[in-house]
Protein backbone atom coordinates (compact mmCIF):
# COMPACT_ATOMS: atom_id res chain seq x y z
CA UNK A 1 0.00 0.00 0.00
CA UNK A 2 1.17 3.51 -0.84
CA UNK A 3 0.39 6.65 1.16
CA UNK A 4 -1.71 9.10 -0.85
CA UNK A 5 -1.84 12.84 -0.13
CA UNK A 6 -4.31 15.32 -1.58
CA UNK A 7 -3.45 18.81 -0.26
CA UNK A 8 -6.43 20.59 1.28
CA UNK A 9 -6.46 23.28 -1.43
CA UNK A 10 -6.77 20.61 -4.12
CA UNK A 11 -9.60 18.93 -2.23
CA UNK A 12 -11.32 22.34 -2.15
CA UNK A 13 -10.83 22.71 -5.91
CA UNK A 14 -12.11 19.18 -6.47
CA UNK A 15 -15.24 20.02 -4.47
CA UNK A 16 -15.73 23.20 -6.51
CA UNK A 17 -15.44 21.28 -9.80
CA UNK A 18 -17.87 18.66 -8.50
CA UNK A 19 -20.48 21.26 -7.52
CA UNK A 20 -20.11 23.03 -10.89
CA UNK A 21 -20.45 19.79 -12.89
CA UNK A 22 -23.67 18.65 -14.50
CA UNK A 23 -25.61 16.22 -12.31
CA UNK A 24 -24.94 13.23 -14.58
CA UNK A 25 -21.19 13.96 -14.53
CA UNK A 26 -21.09 14.25 -10.73
CA UNK A 27 -21.75 10.56 -10.16
CA UNK A 28 -19.15 9.53 -12.75
CA UNK A 29 -16.66 12.05 -11.35
CA UNK A 30 -17.08 10.79 -7.78
CA UNK A 31 -16.74 7.15 -8.84
CA UNK A 32 -13.76 8.01 -11.03
CA UNK A 33 -11.91 9.81 -8.24
CA UNK A 34 -12.63 6.94 -5.85
CA UNK A 35 -11.28 4.43 -8.39
CA UNK A 36 -8.25 6.62 -9.14
CA UNK A 37 -7.45 6.95 -5.43
CA UNK A 38 -7.62 3.16 -5.03
CA UNK A 39 -5.26 2.65 -7.98
CA UNK A 40 -2.84 5.29 -6.69
CA UNK A 41 -2.73 3.54 -3.32
CA UNK A 42 -2.10 0.12 -4.85
CA UNK A 43 0.18 0.67 -7.89
CA UNK A 44 0.78 4.34 -8.72
CA UNK A 45 3.50 3.69 -11.31
CA UNK A 46 0.94 1.82 -13.39
CA UNK A 47 -1.48 4.77 -13.37
CA UNK A 48 -1.59 7.35 -16.13
CA UNK A 49 1.36 8.54 -18.15
CA UNK A 50 4.75 9.92 -17.17
CA UNK A 51 5.48 13.61 -17.68
CA UNK A 52 8.46 15.92 -17.24
CA UNK A 53 10.22 16.42 -13.89
CA UNK A 54 8.92 13.22 -12.35
CA UNK A 55 5.22 14.00 -12.67
CA UNK A 56 2.53 11.63 -13.89
CA UNK A 57 -0.88 12.51 -15.32
CA UNK A 58 -4.13 10.58 -15.07
CA UNK A 59 -7.72 11.20 -16.12
CA UNK A 60 -10.99 10.59 -14.31
CA UNK A 61 -14.39 11.54 -15.72
CA UNK A 62 -14.35 15.34 -16.05
CA UNK A 63 -10.93 15.71 -14.42
CA UNK A 64 -7.21 15.61 -15.09
CA UNK A 65 -4.94 14.85 -12.12
CA UNK A 66 -1.20 15.53 -11.90
CA UNK A 67 0.78 13.63 -9.28
CA UNK A 68 4.27 12.57 -8.19
CA UNK A 69 5.40 9.21 -6.91
CA UNK A 70 8.16 8.90 -4.30
CA UNK A 71 9.21 5.27 -4.71
CA UNK A 72 11.65 5.24 -1.78
CA UNK A 73 9.05 6.57 0.67
CA UNK A 74 6.10 4.77 -1.01
CA UNK A 75 4.19 8.05 -1.17
CA UNK A 76 1.98 9.60 -3.83
CA UNK A 77 1.39 13.35 -3.78
CA UNK A 78 -1.33 14.91 -5.90
CA UNK A 79 0.07 18.14 -7.34
CA UNK A 80 -2.87 19.51 -9.35
CA UNK A 81 -6.43 18.76 -10.38
CA UNK A 82 -8.33 20.53 -13.17
CA UNK A 83 -11.60 20.10 -15.00
CA UNK A 84 -11.26 18.31 -18.31
CA UNK A 85 -13.62 18.01 -21.22
CA UNK A 86 -17.07 19.47 -21.38
Q: Which of 48, 82, 14 is nearest to 69 (CA)?
A: 48
pLDDT digits (tens, 9 = 90+) for 16-74: 999 999 999 999 999 999 999 999 999 999 999 999 999 999 999 999 999 999 999 99
Asked whether residue 8 carries a pLDDT value surpassing 90, the answer given is: yes
Q: What is the CATH number of the domain that holds 45?
A: 3.30.2310.20
pTM of the full structure: 0.93
Question: What is the C-alpha to C-alpha distance for residues 26 and 70, in angstroms, rounded to an integer?
Answer: 30
Q: The domain containing residue 74 runs over which residues? A: 3-83
pLDDT for 16: 97
In this prediction, residue 86 has a pLDDT band, given cuts at 50, 70 and 90, of low
The total domain count for the chain is 1
Amino acid sequence: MWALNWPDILLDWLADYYVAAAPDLRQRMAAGVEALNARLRSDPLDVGESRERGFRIAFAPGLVVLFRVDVAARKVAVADVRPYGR
